[in-house]
Structure 1
């Protein structure tokens, strides 16, 4: 089956879901978005609105707010926050679609998700970000050298459905990487978010203090997951453990003053991101405890 023949459901109409929908629709792929409340109304009435080089454009999108069990898709992309994934999977439990792609962090492992989705689960992580302001998508697609979408089977095999997923990304001209240890990748990436965002949303701290907190937390949790038997993935994070604190502190001081960080401090983003970080941290501590590790 060619990429354009695939029928795709984007379950979640936030930044990530909207950005994937935009790129897939532009590639001629059959896309449906699942949205609720005001976001559903906006998409229904105005289409998917987005910013392109300072101009506001709109593209027609099929949008639903109710999914029947026999409404079958080749892939369902779950593009909600980590703290909403289990609820989303439960709502998809009886749907007959065979492939559910979870596009989010995971600091605990896949047991709970597998209990719901079983072998339909295909873990992934998006390679871009941005914000939605007044119903308009402002997506940031970084260069391939900096970030790509990541996906792979839990067992590390390159299956037929993984190959089909690569065709989708190639058709949409979205860079991707197949990872053979998604559990390790998502736990490692969760640590970076816990360290970076955790410090970012800590009040009553200056930039230098926040930068040093990022360094300390990042190293502490990376060493902890190694003790728990998790390979640091991607391996670039192993450099962090060898890098002197002073150099890392300087790097994070610079990062904390970028425009990207200023966008991340906007109330709508900050409130939801903070809730996600709290659950990521709690689940990481649970995972480490289950493996006899105290950070």
Structure 2
């Protein structure tokens, strides 16, 4: 398949690596220094847990022209950056697009692409569970042996799923189709906004955070309130187990949260190496809009945003 990976950050670079590895004709869209690095050195990835470095040469473009047609385009970038690339995507004559990453407004993006494209656009949304960072011209990829991808449309069946299945076949991805990725993505960012407040409260010192019983209980209650905001707006929390943990299994959730904070990898998963500060800000604004629409009190969520450790309070 002829595939474009639009975006050459950590997630896009790893996706391109997997697609090249299984034999697809892959192009990466990058700009500035990142494009120069890819052209000079290839797509260099250090696989953090696998203790290896891989290098793949890929075709690199800096601009997506309307007639540069691909079988499939994966748009992989941070949520605040999606809006800027929509005009070029709409103008391009490729028909199949997967927008991958945190996303608070997938419906608006789909509507824009379908309304402004000269061809019929089939649009899906996805999220891959991976973290990492860029360092000295290479990407550090933090992942397990199989990276999970949730993918799907916005309540409709993806009749063009074979394109996606063909692209991901034989990769080290395990992908699951969701019926409504709008609900999945909203549920996901409610969860990460609550969890990411742990690291920010203690400036990344998760061992200290794990000892703050009030903070951890506040996170759990805030997450439940976030789910209630979604439900008040007519969304179903997806997956359902996420809601059950925060609402009905709080003791177990608390224990698992303490265990998670004791694992060194949490310093990466709950830092800007997983979700950048500007992305958190954009998602917080999106949640604030949902909260306003729901017109309901969220005392724990509000307290969590202002929470400071007990030692700071005494000083």
Q: CA deviation at 1:168?
A: 1.4
Tell me what 2:112 maps to.
116
Going from structure 1 to structure 2, the CA distance change for 1:284 and 1:46 (only over 3 Å counts) comes to same
Tell me what 2:60 maps to.
63
2:43–2:56 CA contact under 8 A, matched in 1 = yes
Q: CA deviation at 1:84?
A: 0.9
In the alignment of these two chains, the number of paired residues is 284
What's the CA shift string for 1:34-83, capped at 9, x where partnerless? 11111111111000112243343321111111221111111111111011
Tell me what 1:3 maps to.
none
1:1-295 aligned within 5 A: 6-52=1-47, 53-107=50-104, 109-118=105-114, 119-142=121-144, 148-159=148-159, 161-203=160-202, 206-207=208-209, 208=212, 209-264=214-269, 269=273, 273-295=276-298
* Aligned equivalents of 2:94, 2:297: Cα separation in 1: 40
* Aligned equivalents of 1:200, 1:83: Cα separation in 2: 22
* Aligned equivalents of 1:46, 1:210: Cα separation in 2: 45
Going from structure 1 to structure 2, the CA distance change for 1:156 and 1:142 (only over 3 Å counts) comes to farther
Q: CA deviation at 1:224?
A: 1.8
Secondary structure in 1 matching 2:276: helix
Q: CA deviation at 1:135?
A: 2.2
Q: Mean Cα displacement is larger for which, 113-122 or 243-252?
A: 243-252
Q: CA deviation at 1:236?
A: 1.5
1:198–1:277 CA contact under 8 A, matched in 2 = no
Q: CA deviation at 1:264?
A: 4.9
- Unaligned runs of 5+ residues in structure 1 are 1-5
Q: TM-score, normalised by structure 1?
A: 0.87
CA RMSD of aligned residues (A): 2.4
Q: Mean Cα displacement is larger for which, 90-99 or 180-189?
A: 90-99
Going from structure 1 to structure 2, the CA distance change for 1:202 and 1:269 (only over 3 Å counts) comes to same
Secondary structure in 2 matching 1:96: coil
Q: Point out the structure with max Rg over C-alpha.
A: 2
1:102–1:124 CA contact under 8 A, matched in 2 = yes
Secondary structure in 2 matching 1:16: helix
* Aligned equivalents of 2:226, 2:163: Cα separation in 1: 35
Q: CA deviation at 1:291?
A: 4.8
Q: CA deviation at 1:111?
A: 3.6
Q: TM-score, normalised by structure 2?
A: 0.82
